[in-house]
């Protein structure tokens, strides 16, 4: 063991490793200085994390309603006051970029949703209907499409379905109304002839369906055949008793968009009075809401894997609970229980919102985003919170008042769960393992990512306290990469060849014979004549990953490696008969143990504010890395390695 330690645990060159090859040390220092690794005070105590509080605080509905309304009123006023003109529009508001896609559509939706929630027509000196009208003209000039169009038509509808009395529409002259109509033309990204969205993921069919249905409802679109066509096309995943929507067919990409997509199709069908589509989507929504309820984390965070995470996943919870308040038939729990998830998500978003800078902290140190969430969309992310939040809150409060829910618990109270949900069966099945057992909270997806090996979609325990993958990075986050002698790198992802859940839900066996290959397209599989059998098990508060590799041929891998990226910031190596790494901060820890049939190099690394140090919700300051060069796999002989992870609670002096 080598330990170069700074007494302040600051950015210092420090490594704790066990490596038989001398060149590793120079490579470690070349990558980055290791930060924030230290030793616990000797008086600290480690215990298994306790369960949730048995006596949660109680929230008064009326007080919470006032808090939310006051916040949105204050912040909407502040943001409106920053806008002096829409022609030209400002490049920044409160220092946040406004030139990215969907920005002004999101703002238009926020103004409309706020007006509907509060029943206000003015905010200070601002005529809210006029603001929406002018922003629509701005989006027309910008040639904005997709979500901007959806947010535009929804903003218009907030002020009334009858355009003859709609104050937005009445504020426009004939030329401006024509521009609005051209702005809302769904054919900008949907081809009616092919019935496909143009070079976009499948979830945009739901966007197209909603734009068409609401435009028809308002009388802006006269072609009923087009409306029916796009809604029927969007509903296709559900027409033959399908439950989950593949966002990248036929590859099998399942994530948060499946739930959002089903809600979008439902709302499009509602607006167009398509009862046949409502009947087709109904079974999907019932199952998808049950899935969401089982995977939502204690702080209100919804889907923990996939793209568009971070603040979006908290907003998902607001939107989903708002939808369920309005549609009781899909509730997986009582409205009182769902209220706790709503409250936790709200509190998480409020902690993220900076009251001084008036923006969400989406680009704070250590925060990662998918590449399409760029700096020029920073304001859009914040203002989208206002729009989604206002609509969700109006629906939520209407449901609470209708059902006379005067109070609800602050903490989410649910029984433990351990079950596997199949997204699809067949030759390349996909699904997710849902676990909520004492201190173990996670969802482990077997699905396809946006590209092979991207960490957000790997079959790892996403949401597990102390673990977080770097956002949109091809990286072996709790799933090994195998580099062959010819340079190809393989990873067990993009569905699987066999998925076998345990009868009690506390184990999962998955087999890969066809592997994903880095640098290729999603869903393109390679057969290297190597089989991987992975068995995940839960034993009390310990999670175990046991993998067996078996090659049909005698082969030597150029490299085998796996990482444990962590939100914790100290590493203590536990001495004994086997090496154990205790990753920890002031309050919690992960005890990680790895055994293998071959020699392992073990190192700790701090990525700093590089891409590998940025997680969806917080920084990922510490990575444990296990690797082996020139790993020999003898023909037709099984070799094994095992990792155990145990969450702990740190009790200080």
- Say how many C-beta atoms besides its own lie within 10 A of residue 200's C-beta: 15
Which H or E run contains 622?
A: strand 622-633
Please tell me the distance from the alpha carbon of residue 50 to that of residue 43, in angstroms, as a whole number: 20
Check residue 576 and give its pLDDT.
74
Orientation of helix 335-352 relative to helix 61-81, angle to 10°: 40
Give the tokens for residue 342: 């709503």
β-pairing, 45-48 vs 190-191, is: unpaired
Q: Which residues contact 180 (CB under 8 A, 6 or more apart)?
A: 133, 136, 137, 140, 152, 156, 172, 220
Please tell me the distance from the alpha carbon of residue 632 to that of residue 652, in angstroms, as a whole number: 45
Q: 23-35+415-651 in CATH: which number?
A: 2.70.98
Structural contact between residues 363 and 376, judged by C-beta atoms closer than 8 angstroms: no
Report the candidate in 283, 292, 300, 298 with the shortest Cα–Cα distance to residue 256. Answer: 292
Which H or E run contains 285?
A: helix 275-295
Structural contact between residues 144 and 104, judged by C-beta atoms closer than 8 angstroms: yes
- Burial class of residue 577 (count of CB atoms within 10 Å of its CB; 0-12, 13-18, 19+): exposed
Please tell me the distance from the alpha carbon of residue 473 to that of residue 458, in angstroms, as a whole number: 11
Digit-coded pLDDT (tens) for 318-365: 999 999 999 999 999 999 999 999 999 999 999 999 999 999 999 999
Residue 398's SS3 state is helix
Check residue 56 and give its pLDDT.
56
Check residue 575 and give its pLDDT.
73
Residue 188's SS3 state is helix
> Phi-psi region for residue 69, left (φ > 0), alpha (ψ -120 to 50) or beta?
alpha
What is the reported pTM?
A: 0.92
Please tell me the distance from the alpha carbon of residue 453 to that of residue 488, in angstroms, as a whole number: 12
Residues of the chain scoring pLDDT < 70: 1-56, 651-653
Digit-coded pLDDT (tens) for 460-489: 999 999 999 999 999 999 999 999 999 999
């Amino acid at each position: 063991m080598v330990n170069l330690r700074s007494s302040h645990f600051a950015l210092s060159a420090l490594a704790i490793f066990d490596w038989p090859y001398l060149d590793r040390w120079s490579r470690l220092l070349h990558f980055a200085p290791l930060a924030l690794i230290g030793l616990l005070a000797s008086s600290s105590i480690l215990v298994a994390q306790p369960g949730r509080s048995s006596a949660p605080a109680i929230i008064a509905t009326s007080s919470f309603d006032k808090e939310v309304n006051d916040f949105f009123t204050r912040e909407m006023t502040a943001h409106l006051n920053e806008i002096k003109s829409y022609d030209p529009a400002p490049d920044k508001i409160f220092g946040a970029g406004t030139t990215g896609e969907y920005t002004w559509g999101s703002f238009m939706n926020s103004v409309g949703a706020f007006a509907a929630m509060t029943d206000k027509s003015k905010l200070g000196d601002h005529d809210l209907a006029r603001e929406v009208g002018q922003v629509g003209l701005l989006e027309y000039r910008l040639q904005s499409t997709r979500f901007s169009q959806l947010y535009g038509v929804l903003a218009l509808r907030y002020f009334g379905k009858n355009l003859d009395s709609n104050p937005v529409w009445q504020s426009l002259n004939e030329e401006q109304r024509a521009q609005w109509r051209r702005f809302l033309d769904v054919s900008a990204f949907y081809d009616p002839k092919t019935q496909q969205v143009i070079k976009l993921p499948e979830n945009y069919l739901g966007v197209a369906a909603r734009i068409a249905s609401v435009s028809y409802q308002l009388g802006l679109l006269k072609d009923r055949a087009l409306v029916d066509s796009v809604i029927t096309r969007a509903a296709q995943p559900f027409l033959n008793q399908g439950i989950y929507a593949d966002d990248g067919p036929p590859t099998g990409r399942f994530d948060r968009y499946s739930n959002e997509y089903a809600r979008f199709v439902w709302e499009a069908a509602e607006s167009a009075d398509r009862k046949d589509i409502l009947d087709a989507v109904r079974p999907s929504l019932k199952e998808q809401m049950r899935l969401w309820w089982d995977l939502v984390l204690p702080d209100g965070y919804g889907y923990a894997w996939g793209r568009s995470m971070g603040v979006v996943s908290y907003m998902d919870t607001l939107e989903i609970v708002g939808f369920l308040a309005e549609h009781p038939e899909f509730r997986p729990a009582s409205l009182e229980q769902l209220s706790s998830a709503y409250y936790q998500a709200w509190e998480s978003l409020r902690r993220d919102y900076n009251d001084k800078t008036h923006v969400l902290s989406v680009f704070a140190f250590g925060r990662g985003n998918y590449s399409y969430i760029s700096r020029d969309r920073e304001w859009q992310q914040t203002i989208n919170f206002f729009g989604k939040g206002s609509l969700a809150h109006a629906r939520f409060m209407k449901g609470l008042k209708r059902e006379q829910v005067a109070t609800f618990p602050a903490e989410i109270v649910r029984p433990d769960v351990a079950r596997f949900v199949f997204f699809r069966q067949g030759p390349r099945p996909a699904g997710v393992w849902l676990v909520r057992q004492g201190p173990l909270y996670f969802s482990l997806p077997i699905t396809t990512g946006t590209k092979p090996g991207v960490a957000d979609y790997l079959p790892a325990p996403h949401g597990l306290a102390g673990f977080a993958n770097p956002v949109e990075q091809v990286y072996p986050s709790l799933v090994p990469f195998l580099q062959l002698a010819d340079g190809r790198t393989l990873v067990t992802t993009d569905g699987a060849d066999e998925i076998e859940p345990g009868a009690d839900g506390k184990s999962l066996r998955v087999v890969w014979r066809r592997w994903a290959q880095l640098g290729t397209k999603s869903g393109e599989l390679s057969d290297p004549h190597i089989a991987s059998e992975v068995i995940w098990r839960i034993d009390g508060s310990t999670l175990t990953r046991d993998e067996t590799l078996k090659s049909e041929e005698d082969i030597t891998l150029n490299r085998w490696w796996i990482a444990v990226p962590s939100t914790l910031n100290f590493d203590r190596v536990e001495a004994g008969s086997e090496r154990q790494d205790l990753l920890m901060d002031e309050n919690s820890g992960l005890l990680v143990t790895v055994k293998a049939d071959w020699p392992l190099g073990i190192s700790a690394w701090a990525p700093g504010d590089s891409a590998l140090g940025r997680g969806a919700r917080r920084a990922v300051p510490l990575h444990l890395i296990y690797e082996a060069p020139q790993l020999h796999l003898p023909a037709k002989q099984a070799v094994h390695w095992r990792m155990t992870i145990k969450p702990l609670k740190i009790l200080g002096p």
